[in-house]
A and B are shown apart, each in its own frame.
Chain A
Amino acid sequence: MRSTIIFSKTGRPLVAMLVMSLLIACKVPDDPEGTTEEVTGNILRVGTLIEPLDRADADAVARVANAVQAETELVTGDPHTLFAQLEDGKIHLIAGRIPASTPFAADVALTDPLGGIMLGNDTEDRVLAIRKAENRFLITVNRTIRVTIE
């Protein structure tokens, strides 16, 4: 009986709405370039601005890798090359004492602060950089950072 209600004409919009909400709940927000899918169970390529990464950055990177069950592969290079590679999707994350006020902010997406860093006499929020608009990946990283801080 119940199945006839669900598949009846009046039930169809309800089913459609349920399916849509489930889809939305699972998939929104998604990555336009599919970073999360690419890294999950695979390799997380991390650009490092300093070598070796200090503890806060290294911890955050390790936890992100753990969250997406990925192996970390560190990529070194000068900042401009690394940020260009991030924009092209060749690396997935950049770490290494990045302040929230970084001049690269316009070209990448910055995560929530994972602590502070001293720049001269000022304390700035320390963040990680990911590819712009990869909103699902950004949320994954932000959630991991929050758990780390708590």
Chain B
Amino acid sequence: MNHGVPDEIERKLRRAATLEWWSIFWLLTIIAVMYFAMGSSQAMKSAWIEDTLSLLPPILFLLPRKFENKPATEKYPFGFHRVGSLAFLLAASALTAMGGFLLYDAVSALILQEHPTIGNITIFGWDVWMGWLMVAALIYSIIPPVILGYIKKPLARATMDKILYTDADMNAADWKTGLAGIAGIIGIGFGFWWPMRLRRG
């Protein structure tokens, strides 16, 4: 037992920590795949930044676990329990900033009527429109977070951990962003220039 945390909860937190390590691993693979698929597309770059920033909640869940159980010191006589709240504040601020950036980016692009150009590429002798690669990358980017999100949710509820809960919720809702992105690229494929902008909004 750690600082009044029941064994049952501690076990769940440990399981959540394992899941967060898995989240980081899968996110890194997604970031790599998205990087190779994005080409010069500005919209995919935004999606890529979004994926990179979504590394923050798992990291900010794992980091405080290293500190919060440390014994109190002379300088911090009440211990380090509140590190979790500080991490939550950081994660929340980062996500708000990201949301604001994406909204600004989308609205300004819509107002300026930026037109997304997506060319083609040769892979193993096949001439492929990069839009299809982006769709494939986006499909891949949906699967691990949604599965992990649904596994993390009950753990977050049971442990009453707010970072874990936010992370699980965000992951579980990831398919919406992914599907909107896919719709955006297919829309561009059909010759509409604006769907990607709305998606980002």
Interaction A to B: yes
Mark A residues whose CB is within 8 Å of B: 24, 27-32, 34, 109, 111-112, 132-136, 138-139, 142-143, 146
Interface residues of B in 114-165 (CB under 8 A from A): 115-120, 122, 127, 129, 131
Provided the pairs A135-B129, A143-B127 are in contact, do residues A28 and B119 lie with their beta carbons within 8 angstroms? Answer: no
Question: A139 — nearest CB in chain B belongs to which residue?
Answer: B120
A and B contact pairs by CB, cutoff 8 A, 7 listed: A29-B131, A29-B189, A132-B115, A135-B188, A139-B129, A143-B120, A143-B127
Contacts A27-B191, A109-B117, A132-B117 known; 12 new A-B pairs at CB < 8 A: A29-B191, A133-B115, A133-B193, A135-B118, A135-B129, A135-B131, A135-B188, A138-B119, A139-B119, A139-B129, A143-B127, A146-B127
Q: Cβ of A135 and Cβ of B190 under 8 Å apart?
A: no
Question: Which of B115, B118, B122, B127 is close to A29, meaning CB atoms less than 8 Å apart?
Answer: B118
The answer for the CA separation of A143 and B120 in the assembled complex, in Å, is 9
CB distance from A73 to the nearest CB of B (A): 24
Most buried by B among A30, A112, A133: A133
Please name all residues of chain B whose beta carbon is closer than 8 Å to the beta carbon of A139 when the two chains form the complex.
119-120, 129
Question: B191 — nearest CB in chain A belongs to which residue?
Answer: A30
Please name all residues of chain A whose beta carbon is closer than 8 Å to the beta carbon of B190 when the two chains form the complex.
27-30
Question: A109 — nearest CB in chain B belongs to which residue?
Answer: B117
CB distance from B109 to the nearest CB of A (A): 12
The answer for the CA separation of A28 and B120 in the assembled complex, in Å, is 12
Q: Cβ of A135 and Cβ of B192 under 8 Å apart?
A: no
The answer for the CA separation of A132 and B42 in the assembled complex, in Å, is 13
CB distance from B192 to the nearest CB of A (A): 7
Q: Cβ of B127 and Cβ of A30 under 8 Å apart?
A: no
Q: Is B59 an interface residue (CB 8 A)?
A: no
CB distance from B195 to the nearest CB of A (A): 11
Q: Cβ of A32 and Cβ of B191 under 8 Å apart?
A: yes
Q: Is B180 an interface residue (CB 8 A)?
A: no
The answer for the CA separation of A139 and B116 in the assembled complex, in Å, is 14
A-contact 0/1 string along B160-197, CB 8 Å cutoff: 00000000000000000000000000101111110000
CB distance from A20 to the nearest CB of B (A): 11
The answer for the CA separation of A146 and B191 in the assembled complex, in Å, is 24
Question: A143 — nearest CB in chain B belongs to which residue?
Answer: B127
The answer for the CA separation of A27 and B189 in the assembled complex, in Å, is 8
The answer for the CA separation of A86 and B60 in the assembled complex, in Å, is 49
Please name all residues of chain A whose beta carbon is closer than 8 Å to the beta carbon of B116 when the two chains form the complex.
133
The answer for the CA separation of A32 and B122 in the assembled complex, in Å, is 24
Please name all residues of chain B whose beta carbon is closer than 8 Å to the beta carbon of A111 when the two chains form the complex.
119
Provided the pairs A29-B191, A30-B190 are in contact, do residues A138 and B117 lie with their beta carbons within 8 angstroms? Answer: yes
The answer for the CA separation of A132 and B188 in the assembled complex, in Å, is 12
Question: Which of A29, A31, A109, A132 is close to B129, meaning CB atoms less than 8 Å apart?
Answer: A29
Question: Which of B117, B127, B129, B186 is close to A133, meaning CB atoms less than 8 Å apart?
Answer: B117
Please name all residues of chain B whose beta carbon is closer than 8 Å to the beta carbon of A132 when the two chains form the complex.
115, 117
Please name all residues of chain B whose beta carbon is closer than 8 Å to the beta carbon of A136 when the two chains form the complex.
191
